Structure 1
């Protein structure tokens, strides 16, 4: 078996950057975009895919910050499969040592770089090209009413989007609360609950 990808934990714990090994020849290139055992070994419990999503965005579209309430949670592996994006992970876990911190990753179709986010982390991205397409492999199927939205322009988080003009956003994202407002309303998962959730996943199904 060859080494299919390099997995690096980000400065936000329980988030990982996956850089695939590319094989080039006169036809083009090939790489493994996903192998469940690689991610499962890194996070310490099985990563199962319950749903796959795609989004296509015009240049300067800003999506997020999105998370999922716990329960049910929804871990994600996100990959830019066309165009390029500035991808961001934000720690939404109240009480986490890195609560409110973020890390950015440049993703584009040629690199194949992906980012894994555990339950309790938020995701956002800025489309740097027209027709930027993102693929999401999700651990759980979406349940209406469980999505969390946080203002991606929240100055307390301070993500360096590098905007030169107003971004294209959904009405819901544009009107999303700041991190502090969401925390005050009790909308965010706690670090303690997330750790218990991860431990239960590591323990496996109870018989």
Structure 2
């Protein structure tokens, strides 16, 4: 497994070593020891989530506040998404900045999004199935949403049409109005 720190170094892109032949492929999607060696972090994943989205569906920018903040290890098992992490830690030198990567069933990349980041993705293929491991349980009373098109963040989403949003995501807040991390 190879780890690449992105332009916000706390966000890490993982590229697994894939073993393939005419029968198919095999790869290790998570190994706690290797994760700890590559990131310096010891995490405890407590929940796995699986979503399916149609082309053009945008989910996010979601996060949970302390004491229920979540780190997420995300990947795609069918299709392709453009995945985004936004630093929402006011004390961080990269506060309000974002990183994005294409994650797909073909490239098998995974992205580590630590606590203190808002997360979102848009589906690029006809459908996509998205898996993510979280370091804390879903707690709706601590969940928040920043607007996907927040100008102060300036995410360069790779689509031409307006995305399909949930009702919750249509109500996303501006960064300066959102509760964020200290």
**TM value normalised by structure 1:** 0.84
Alpha-carbon distance in structure 1 between the residues aligned to 2:37 and 2:66: 23
CA deviations 1:137-180 (Å, max 9, x no partner) are: 01111122111200011111111113221210011111110111
Equivalent of residue 73 in structure 1, options 53, 69, 72: 69
What is the Cα deviation at residue 104 of structure 1? 0.9
Q: Does 1:130 align with 2:126?
A: yes
Larger radius of gyration: 1
What is the Cα deviation at residue 87 of structure 1? 0.6
Pick which of 95-104 and 41-50 moved more.
Answer: 41-50
Higher percent of residues as strand: 2
Alpha-carbon distance in structure 2 between the residues aligned to 1:42 and 1:30: 21
What is the Cα deviation at residue 181 of structure 1? 1.5
Alpha-carbon distance in structure 1 between the residues aligned to 2:39 and 2:63: 19
- 2:59–2:121 contact (8 Å) kept in structure 1: yes
Partner of residue 95, structure 2:
99
Query: What is the aligned-residue RMSD (CA, Å)?
Result: 1.1
Partner of residue 45, structure 1:
41
- 1:75–1:140 contact (8 Å) kept in structure 2: yes
CA deviations 1:28-85 (Å, max 9, x no partner) are: 2211111111222233231111000011000000110111102121111000111000
Gaps spanning 5+ residues in structure 1: where?
191-207
What is the Cα deviation at residue 88 of structure 1? 0.7
Partner of residue 164, structure 1:
160
Alpha-carbon distance in structure 1 between the residues aligned to 2:147 and 2:102: 20
Alpha-carbon distance in structure 1 between the residues aligned to 2:3 and 2:58: 26
SS of equivalent to 1:29: strand
**TM value normalised by structure 2:** 0.95
Partner of residue 171, structure 2:
175
SS of equivalent to 1:145: helix
Aligned positions, number: 182
